[in-house]
């Protein structure tokens, strides 16, 4: 195998996402086990201003907004998504430009080592932990007195956590048998041995009965109408808008916009929050999403960019791929980066695009 260190990556170098993830759909659950889709509702609200300045403003804050709540008889809510893991060997999408053939050979050599490595198994175990601890539920995780998560393969039970809240969000060690079982299934897919799709279901128990505000993903709208506060992510089609103007008999004060959902990218961002290999982990002490430059919107930092020194970035690791052991911290981060996908082209324009896009799915 070549021991070359690449001075520059090809002008075209991109990897497709190694995890194919569906949206996560919300369902209310009552004491009889009956499930109903959770609606996103558009409605008006009369709030108060929450602006920290000394200017004289109106106290009231009348808005049109969207919200999602469980059914009034709900004792909990279920959220479901599906996941399929590609082989690490299938992640390369395009590679063209200077030294493309040498890089392809180096990449293939690294993947062959990774497929039988303990490093790949550790990456898979970390994904398994983030499935079973419910990190992907985001703010909805705090709604539960108890959260149960079940994972199915071919409609058969594969792994579960009876109390997801007891599983660490900060550490990756002391894996349970269910985490090991799920991690093995993910690792086998990453190796290309199997192509098993997984169905994941979280059951959030409130500890009481009632309508509870839930937190689907939020949509970014560049030019929101004046007075419109918050658009939520939903699937399906909205109910017909009221077109009768002020006709009292036809008036309605709410409009159902679709079924509440977590966007697939938001789920994926949570699942890949496994990077404890970055240099500042000892001080920051929190795992961050696998991103080429270690972008964290939570901390508003690039943890793998040290000024102009990029020796810890995925770009630099790719240049040193011939020297990286998959069982090391750098090797595991590189494996996870390949599974994340993205553009690694070595050009000023491509790198600027990657920096601008990095971490975008960490938003609401």
Domain annotation covers residue 39: yes
Sheet holding 12-15, edge to edge: 92-96, 12-15, 342-343
Q: Could you give the percent of the chain with pLDDT greater than 70?
A: 87
pLDDT of 62 reads 76
Residue 87's nearest CA partner among 339, 320, 353, 345 is: 339
For residue 231, count CB atoms less than 10 angstroms from its CB and return exposed for 0-12, middle for 13-18, buried for 19 or more: middle
Taking only the tens place, the pLDDT of each residue in 306-359 is: 655 558 899 999 999 999 999 999 999 999 999 999 998 876 554 455 455 554
pLDDT of 46 reads 75
pLDDT of 356 reads 52
pLDDT of 135 reads 98
Strand partners, 45: 63
Mean pLDDT of the chain: 88
| 157 vs 240 pLDDT, higher one | 157
Rounded Cα distance between 314 and 354, Å, is 11
pLDDT band for position 206 (cuts 50, 70, 90): very high
pLDDT of 362 reads 46
265-283 mean pLDDT: 95
Strand partners, 343: 14
Domain annotation covers residue 6: no
Name the range with the highest mean pLDDT among 50-54, 284-288, 350-354.
284-288
For residue 251, count CB atoms less than 10 angstroms from its CB and return exposed for 0-12, middle for 13-18, buried for 19 or more: exposed
201-223 mean pLDDT: 94
Q: Could you give the percent of the chain with pLDDT greater than 90?
A: 67
Taking only the tens place, the pLDDT of each residue in 176-194 is: 999 999 999 999 999 999 9
Domain annotation covers residue 264: yes
163-174 mean pLDDT: 96
DSSP secondary structure letter of residue 37: E
Tell me phi and psi for residue 160, to 5 degrees.
-155, 160
Rounded Cα distance between 335 and 118, Å, is 11
The overall longest dimension of the chain from CA atoms, in Å, is: 78
Taking only the tens place, the pLDDT of each residue in 137-159 is: 999 999 999 999 999 999 999 99
pLDDT of 363 reads 44
How far from 277 is each of 109, 290, 309, 331, CA to CA, in Å? 22, 10, 17, 10
CB 213 within 8 A of CB 152: no
How many domains in the chain? 1
160-166 mean pLDDT: 97
Domain annotation covers residue 320: yes
pLDDT of 239 reads 83
- Secondary structure class of 363 (helix, strand, coil): coil
Strand partners, 149: 161, 202
Range of the domain at 113: 12-362
pTM exceeds 0.85, yes or no: yes
Residue 314's nearest CA partner among 17, 90, 9, 86 is: 9
pLDDT of 51 reads 67
Taking only the tens place, the pLDDT of each residue in 3-27 is: 888 888 888 999 999 999 999 999 9
pLDDT of 154 reads 94
pLDDT of 347 reads 63
Domain annotation covers residue 3: no
Domain annotation covers residue 7: no
| 139 vs 223 pLDDT, higher one | 139
Domain annotation covers residue 18: yes
226-252 mean pLDDT: 75
Cβ neighbours for 285, distance < 8 A, ≥ 6 positions apart: 170
Domain annotation covers residue 187: yes
């Amino acid at each position: 195998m070549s021991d070359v260190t690449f001075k520059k990556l090809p002008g075209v170098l991109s990897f497709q996402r190694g995890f194919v993830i569906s949206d996560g759909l919300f369902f209310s659950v009552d004491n009889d086990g009956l499930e109903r889709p959770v609606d996103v509702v558009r409605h008006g609200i009369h709030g108060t201003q929450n602006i920290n300045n000394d200017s004289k403003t109106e106290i009231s804050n009348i808005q049109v907004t969207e919200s999602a709540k469980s059914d009034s008889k709900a004792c909990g809510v279920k959220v479901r998504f599906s996941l399929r893991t590609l082989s690490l060997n299938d992640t390369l999408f395009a590679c063209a430009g200077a030294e493309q053939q040498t890089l392809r050979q180096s990449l293939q050599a690294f993947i062959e080592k990774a497929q039988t490595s303990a490093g790949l198994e550790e990456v898979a175990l970390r994904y398994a932990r983030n499935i079973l601890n419910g990190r992907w539920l985001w703010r909805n995780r705090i709604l539960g007195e108890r959260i149960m998560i079940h994972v199915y393969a071919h409609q058969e039970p594969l792994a579960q956590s009876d109390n997801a809240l007891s599983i660490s969000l900060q550490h990756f060690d002391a894996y349970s048998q269910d985490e090991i079982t799920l991690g093995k299934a993910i690792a086998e897919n990453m190796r290309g041995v199997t192509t098993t799709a997984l169905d994941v279901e979280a059951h959030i128990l409130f500890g009481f009965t009632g309508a509870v505000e839930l937190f689907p993903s939020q949509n970014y709208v560049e030019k929101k109408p004046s007075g419109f506060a918050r658009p939520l992510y939903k699937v399906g089609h909205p109910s017909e808008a009221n077109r009768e103007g002020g006709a009292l008999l036809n008036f309605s004060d709410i409009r159902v916009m679709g079924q509440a959902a977590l966007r697939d990218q938001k789920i994926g961002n949570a699942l890949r929050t496994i990077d404890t290999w970055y240099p500042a982990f000892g001080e920051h002490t929190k795992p961050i999403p696998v991103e080429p430059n270690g972008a964290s919107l939570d901390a508003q930092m690039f943890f793998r960019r040290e000024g102009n020194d990029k020796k810890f970035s995925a770009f630099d690791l790719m240049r040193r791929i011939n020297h990286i052991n998959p069982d090391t911290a750098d090797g595991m981060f590189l494996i996870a980066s390949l599974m994340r996908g993205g553009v690694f082209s070595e050009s000023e324009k491509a790198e600027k695009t990657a920096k601008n896009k990095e971490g975008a799915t960490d938003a609401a």
